[in-house]
Structures are given as structure tokens and as C-alpha cells.
């Protein structure tokens, strides 16, 4: 076997792979992904089966602990999460400091980071109980503060978790229930959200997950690592794409619904515009999540009796792109976020919150990957570079420059 460290010290050899297109950074037993075949599995279970038969908390358990839970294990997990849904009231002062209409992802990253101030002890990952408690704390508090970012912008009083309701149902309640009356929720909505969260729950070493792992590799706390993941997810090339897709569809609608014009813009190399929700670093055939979500969008809209012209524009755009040589030759297909926004919109979620929903869905993935990385005792993440700057130069005094 080649001793890479020895080789490097003798030759100075470094692999250069911008964007890590071909470099693995770790071994992982969590998610299997085959981009050519369009396969996605969590811990060996197909995404299709999980989306159809499971629910978000069960999938979270599976990702984090490796096995599908028994009835007793999932009841305990849910109960233990509930115990950690109270957020320190002093956090409200921090929220109050944000200007109205600050982007919810910015507030979420800051609040998640602020949780470190209220939970300052570094977690001892070799203590099973302590590790488990930390995970339940993350699952409980993150959901609540994620919804607070919306309540703050709406000027609503902040809401508390209802222990008699499930995790996903609580999300909608925390968002929309007002002191003036109980919030009624259609089971179709819970089902659709469960599905969406499951589809977003993990995706191996994507940008935000790699960020969580690399921050956590310095043994920074779980909340600090998750906060960094939220920031990475925010970008429009990653999780921010769901917001960007809907804004793009709205723009197309406002300009007369001419999908072809936008296809032409996306193909024009002088134009920075990209067709949002299209293309994927790994899926070069189709994104299996997009297939499930497209069907779910149809079902939800029908069940809720919503006739959204935006959905027709999305379908027109997809059909046109799939026939187009530019998109075909580059293997650009709709990704998970092409249709997710249409469902969120039908559920009354404002566009700016779309990426926050992605973050709630991705949380168990981040936690699972962080846990795996720490338990595997992975070394600190520290990429190398190929230096292309100036050679050694003599310093010039300021008056001579």
C-alpha cells in the first residue's frame, strides 16, 4: 500500500480538486448515493420506501442511530426531544435585536450559534447518555428557534411546543397558531411535510454537511457546527435554491409565462442567470427526490383544492428543458428543490422561509454526520492548496512604493 504521508513529505505531492468533485473526505455508513442510476438510500433503505412508509422522526432516528427504531425506542426519542423544546427566555432578547425583515436564515444561523452560550459545556462524545441528550437537545431547540425566525418577522408572539402533538405538526403550530384560537391542520399537510423533511434529511457530503463535519472536526460544539451548516445551506447554489426557484417562477409568471425566454437566458454564457432547481453535482441522470416530490406536489395541490398557475409554469419549463440540447448534453435535470417550493407555497409558507424548512429537514443528517465523524475520531479537516502567488520578494518601504 502507498503511504500517502510519506509520499507527500518526500515529493510535496498534493492532489488538487477544486470543489472536491472527485475527492472523498471520509468513510461514511449513513447515506448511499449513485448519481448515474439515481439511487438514494439512508442506512440501506431506499428513499422511495422511506418517503412512502416512514415519518420524519423515525427517519431521523434511523440516520442518527443506524437502525429503524422499535415502537418503544421511537416513543422514548420523541419524549426526550420534547423535554428539550424549551428555549431559554433570554434568547428572546437576541431575537429582538434583529431588524424587522432580516432574512430568517441569517437569524437562524445566529440563534443556533447563540445556543452555545446557554449550553457552554463541550459534549463528551464517549459518554453515550451525554451524546444522546445533546442530540435530543439539538432536535428540540432547533425546531422551535427555526419557527421563531418567522414569528419575529410577522410580529407574532413567540410560540411554545405543544407536548400533546407530534414533531411535524408542532412545526406548523409553532409557525401559525395564534393566541386567538387553536390551529386546525389538515392531515394531508402533515403527510406532505413529513415527506419533504424525509427527502431533505441527508445527502452525504454536500456543502452544508461537509461544513458541519469540518467545523466539528476541530471539536467545536454541535450547535456551533450546525450554525455553520445553516450558513452554508443558505447559498442559492445549495439550499437557497428552493427560494430562488419560486422567485424565478414568479418572475416568469409576471412576465407573461414565457418559459422559452428563460431557457435561452440560462443557456447564454454571457448571462449569469441559471435555471434554478436544475442540475446537481452528483445526480447526472435524475434526482430520485424530484420524482417523489413532483408527485407529492400534484397530490397536495389536489387535496387542498389549490390551482396554482405557478405549477403549470414549472411543468412547462421542465418539459422544455428536458427537450433542449443544452440541458440534455450537460445532464441537467430538475433537482429536489424544483418542486418543493410549490408545496411550501400551497401550505402557506412564505418564500423566505423555504430554506429554513430545508434546514429543519437536514438537521438529522447534520447530526448523524457530526456524530459519525466524532465517534470515528476523524482528524481535523485541513485541506492543502497549490500556491500560485508571488515568489519571495524584498519588502519596499512605504515612501518608495
Q: Among all residues, which ones are annotated catalytic?
A: 280, 337
Interaction with ligand ACO in 77-136: which residues (CB under 6 A)? none
Angle at 297 between CA 347 and CA 32, to 5 degrees: 110
CA 90/CA 80 separation, integer angstroms: 23
Nearer to ligand ACO among residue 22 and residue 121 (C-beta): 22
Task: State which of positions 337-356 bind ligand ACO (CB under 6 A).
Answer: 337
Q: Helices (H), strands (E): how many in the chain?
A: 18, 3
**CA distances (Å), 239 to each of 166, 182, 186, 200, 329, in order?**
25, 32, 27, 10, 25
Pick from 239, 288, 341, 365: which binds ligand ACO (CB under 6 A)? 239
Q: Which of 332, 346, 349, 359 touches ligand ACO by CB under 6 A? A: 332
3-state secondary structure 366-399: HHHHHHHHHHCCCCCCCCCCCCCCCCCCCCCCHH
- Which one among 122, 237, 251, 261 touches ligand ACO, defined by CB under 6 A? 237
Residue entry with cell 420523541? 78
Per CB under 6 A, the segment of 62-70, 209-217, 254-262, 274-282 that binds ligand ACO is: 274-282
* Residue of 146, 275, 290, 346 that binds ligand ACO (CB under 6 A): 275
Under the binding rule (CB under 6 A), the answer on residue 364 touching ligand ACO is no
Q: Which of residues 150, 278, 333, 344 is near ligand ACO by CB under 6 A?
A: 278
Q: How many residues bind ligand ACO (CB under 6 A)?
A: 19
- Least CB distance to ligand ACO at residue 295 (A): 18
CB neighbours (10 Å) of residue 253?
A: 15
Instruction: Work out whether 336 is an interface residue with ligand ACO (CB under 6 A).
Output: yes
Reported for 46-54, long-range contacts at CB under 8 A and 24+ positions apart, including other chains, are 47/198, 47/199, 47/288, 47/289, 47/292, 48/288, 48/292, 50/198, 51/195, 51/198, 51/199, 51/292, 54/198
Q: How far is the CB of 19 from ligand ACO (least distance, A)?
A: 6
Q: Does residue 284 interact with ligand ACO by CB under 6 A?
A: no
Residue window 247-266: x/- pattern of binding to ligand ACO, with contact defined by CB under 6 A? -------------------x
Q: Which cell goes with 220?
A: 467545536
Kindly list the residues in this chain that would bind ligand ACO in the complex (CB under 6 A): 19, 237-239, 241, 266, 274-281, 330, 332, 335-337
Amino acid at each position: 500500500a502507498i503511504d500517502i504521508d510519506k509520499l507527500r513529505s518526500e515529493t510535496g505531492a498534493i492532489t488538487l480538486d477544486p470543489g472536491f468533485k472527485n475527492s472523498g473526505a471520509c468513510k461514511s455508513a449513513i447515506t448511499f448515493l449513485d448519481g448515474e442510476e439515481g439511487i438514494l438510500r439512508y442506512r440501506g433503505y431506499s428513499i422511495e420506501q422511506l418517503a412512502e412508509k416512514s415519518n420524519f422522526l423515525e427517519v431521523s432516528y434511523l440516520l442518527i442511530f443506524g437502525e429503524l427504531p422499535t415502537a418503544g425506542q421511537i416513543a422514548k426519542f420523541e419524549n426526550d426531544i420534547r423535554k428539550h423544546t424549551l428555549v431559554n427566555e433570554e434568547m428572546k432578547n437576541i431575537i429582538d435585536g434583529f431588524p424587522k425583515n432580516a432574512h430568517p436564515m441569517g437569524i437562524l444561523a445566529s440563534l443556533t450559534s447563540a445556543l452555545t452560550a446557554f449550553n457552554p459545556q463541550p459534549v463528551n462524545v464517549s459518554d453515550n447518555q451525554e451524546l444522546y441528550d445533546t442530540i435530543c437537545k439539538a432536535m428540540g431547540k432547533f425546531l422551535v428557534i427555526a419557527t421563531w425566525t418567522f414569528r419575529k418577522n410577522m410580529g407574532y408572539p413567540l410560540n411554545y411546543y405543544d407536548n400533546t402533538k407530534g414533531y411535524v405538526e408542532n412545526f406548523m403550530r409553532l409557525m401559525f397558531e395564534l393566541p386567538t384560537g387553536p390551529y386546525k391542520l389538515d392531515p394531508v399537510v402533515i403527510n406532505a411535510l413529513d415527506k419533504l423533511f424525509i427527502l431533505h434529511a441527508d445527502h452525504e457530503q454536500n456543502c452544508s454537511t461537509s461544513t458541519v463535519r469540518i467545523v466539528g472536526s476541530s471539536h467545536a460544539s454541535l450547535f456551533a457546527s450546525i450554525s455553520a451548516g445553516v450558513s452554508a445551506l443558505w447559498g442559492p447554489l445549495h439550499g437557497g435554491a428552493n427560494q430562488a426557484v419560486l422567485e424565478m417562477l414568479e418572475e416568469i409568471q409576471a412576465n407573461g409565462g414565457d418559459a422559452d425566454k428563460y431557457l435561452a437566458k440560462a443557456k447564454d454564457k454571457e448571462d449569469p442567470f441559471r435555471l434554478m432547481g436544475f442540475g446537481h453535482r452528483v445526480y447526472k441522470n435524475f434526482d430520485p427526490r424530484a420524482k417523489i416530490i413532483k408527485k407529492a406536489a400534484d397530490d397536495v395541490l389536489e387535496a387542498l383544492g389549490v390551482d396554482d398557475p405557478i405549477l403549470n409554469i414549472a411543468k412547462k419549463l421542465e418539459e422544455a428543458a428536458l427537450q433542449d440540447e443544452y440541458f440534455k448534453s450537460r445532464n441537467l435535470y430538475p433537482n429536489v428543490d424544483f418542486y418543493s417550493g410549490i408545496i411550501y407555497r400551497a401550505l402557506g409558507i412564505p418564500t423566505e422561509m423555504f430554506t429554513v424548512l430545508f434546514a429543519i429537514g437536514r438537521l438529522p443528517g447534520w447530526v448523524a454526520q457530526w456524530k459519525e465523524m466524532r465517534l470515528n475520531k476523524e482528524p481535523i479537516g485541513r485541506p492543502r492548496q497549490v500556491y500560485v502567488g508571488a515568489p519571495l520578494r524584498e519588502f519596499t518601504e512605504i515612501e518608495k512604493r
